[in-house]
Chain A
């Protein structure tokens, strides 16, 4: 089962809004990653975080590596319709052979 818990599971956005999502775990991770997946495609890497407290941006996206190393956050500023998709957090733990573990995803939809 999933070791990473993402919330919310889904959210509606209105153009121009800022949105946030997070990912938590009971285990410490050495690297946190955020991916976006669109229908019919594989996940695409958005941001990689390598040390506790790190704050990294990629355009309108900003992600943070939690101080406890057990959580991470992703913010999207001034959302636009093409931000729709499923956002996954993923973590790497050296203790687990450095293999990637994914969260369950946050589905971002546009408000009707």
Chain B
């Protein structure tokens, strides 16, 4: 059984650039959630994808967008990067919509915006 994998592990961008982060869900999981974890804080919910559609969104601006593909993998896109976007971005998958108590997290992508 393959766990949640994220790529890249680390990324450095400059302010104003765009970034795409990728996530492969755990085998058998059809729901993917994205979280932002700033240094010294807990993860903050960005959004969730189920059946290739956004299924709930946290308090993040529209420049944070995502996609889910038929194989359940997902992308997080952030446009017009700001310094405060520097954080660990975590992807988590679960075996079904609404089963958020069964989230399995990847190791994250550490994004630094200079």
Closest approach, in angstroms, between the C-beta of A35 and any C-beta of chain B? 8
Interface mask (B84-111 → A, CB under 8 Å = 1, otherwise 0): 0000001010000010111111111000
Closest approach, in angstroms, between the C-beta of A88 and any C-beta of chain B? 5
- Tell me the bound Cα distance from A88 to B90 in angstroms: 15
Q: A42-B4, A42-B90 are in contact. Are A105 and B105 (CB under 8 A)?
A: no
Of chain B, the residue at the smallest CB distance from A86 is B42
Q: Using Cβ atoms and an 8 Å threshold, which residues of chain B touch A99?
A: 33, 45, 48, 56, 58, 100
B45 close to A100 (CB less than 8 A) = yes
Q: Using a CB–CB distance below 8 Å, which chain A residues touch chain B?
A: 2, 4, 31, 33, 40-45, 48, 50, 88, 90, 92, 97-105
Closest approach, in angstroms, between the C-beta of B26 and any C-beta of chain A? 12
Of chain B, the residue at the smallest CB distance from A49 is B101
- Tell me the bound Cα distance from A4 to B45 in angstroms: 13
**Best-buried of B43, B45, B102 by chain A (most CB within 10 Å):** B43
B105 close to A43 (CB less than 8 A) = yes
User: Would you call B65 an interface residue if the criterion is a C-beta within 8 Å of the partner chain's C-beta atoms?
Assistant: no
Of chain B, the residue at the smallest CB distance from A90 is B42
User: Would you call B44 an interface residue if the criterion is a C-beta within 8 Å of the partner chain's C-beta atoms?
Assistant: yes
Q: 8 Å CB contacts to A: which residues of B41-91?
A: 41-45, 48, 56, 58, 90
A42 close to B45 (CB less than 8 A) = no
Partner of B41, one of A45, A100, A105: A105
Q: Using Cβ atoms and an 8 Å threshold, which residues of chain A touch B92?
A: 42
The list of the 5 closest CB pairs from A to B, nearest first, reads A42-B105, A102-B42, A97-B56, A102-B43, A100-B100
Q: Using Cβ atoms and an 8 Å threshold, which residues of chain A touch B41?
A: 2, 104-105
B42 close to A2 (CB less than 8 A) = yes
Interface mask (B6-34 → A, CB under 8 Å = 1, otherwise 0): 00000000000000000000000000010
* 5 chain-A/chain-B pairs, Cβ below 8 angstroms: A42-B92, A98-B98, A99-B100, A100-B33, A100-B103
Partner of A101, one of B45, B102, B106: B45
